Structure 1
Amino acid sequence: MEIIIRKAEEKDSEKIWTLMEQLAVFEKYIDSFAITPEIVKESGFRKIPPDFYCIVADDNDKIAGMLLYYFLPYTAQNRPAIYMKELYVDENYRGQKIGEQLMNALKIEAEQNNCNQIKWTDAPWNKAGQKFYERLGATENNEWLNYEWKI
């Protein structure tokens, strides 16, 4: 098995959607999950600019993991940032450092786009995820609180 980390292509839309659905189950929001394969295709690959970008871990045309992100073009430092929206590795592929490879690819993407940081949130109950991010050298940001305004 040789995993190739690459930017997603439109032909990956259905497989990306499958992982998004699995993530929704894992993170306990499947009841409100409203994404379809067609939405993935339109929003990520046909819309200009796209609503999101995606890096995948490809195992001989099977998508073993995905990382969705988008750019925050304007920050106080006058440099863009990347916001990582979703990182998910199929449970059959866990323990093979695929998540780390996806994060390293995102770091390269950030450097190539002159970004000064990568931001994301994690569920407080996801202790394995928190350990993973800390192992990579990420630090928790306690300076800001997250708010939502549902409309």
Structure 2
Amino acid sequence: MSTVEIRPASVNDVGLILSFIKKLAAYEELAHEVVATEELLAESLFGEKRHAEVIFAYAQKNAESPLEPAGMALYFHNFSTFLGRPGLYLEDLFVDKEFRGQGIGKKLLTQLAVIAKERSCARYEWVCLDWNKPSREFYEALGAKPQSQWIIHRVEGKSLDDLAAL
């Protein structure tokens, strides 16, 4: 396997973050839903109140090539009232197609587990699209357990506006 380095993102990486978000959306056939801009990401990730964090995996295409961005994980903290402790929530994980199968996704997930432990998180969780069988199998091989008893509910757009106006 080629060299892989995990690095935290900086404000100078906002364009790279957005490019990975767009690649993930294309993979999930949801490119039409991306409205994020570099400006929005800069404010949300590196502004006065930071809402999420990003780590990158840099890898080599071959032993002689330089390290280049190969993958990204965007995450934030949630909280468990039952456990009385924070949790770590992985919003997006993406590895460029040309770098898949080299253990990069596993390295990103492992680094997030280390961060969760360092920050005394009680759990570390994410969601996966039901049709994405390769990813589901990968996650389960790492010890992740699907939580089928929970149903995600979402309020967005006009529904969010209407609810806030009540």
TM above 0.5, yes or no, is: yes
Within 1, Cα distance between the matches of 2:33 and 2:77? 25
How far is the alpha carbon of 1:38 from its aligned partner? Answer: 2.3
Deviation at 1:70, TM superposition (A): 0.4
What letter is aligned with 1:141? Answer: Q
TM-score calculated relative to the size of structure 2 = 0.84
Matched, 1:108 2:114: yes
Identity value in percent: 31
Match of 2:163?
none
RMSD over aligned Cα, in angstroms? 1.4
1:2-151 pair list within 5 angstroms:
2-45=3-46, 47-59=47-59, 60=66, 62-150=68-156, 151=159
Gaps of 5+ in 1: none
Give distance in 2, aligned partners of 1:4 and 1:32: 31
Counterpart CA distance in 1 for 2:98 and 2:136 is: 20
| Deviation (angstroms), 1:8 | 1.2
Task: Describe the superposition over 1:42-89 as per-residue Cα deviations: whole angstroms up to 9, x where unpaired.
Answer: 2112x2331111111023563210000000145321010011100000
Letter in 2 for 1:58: Y
Relative to the length of structure 1, the TM-score reads 0.92
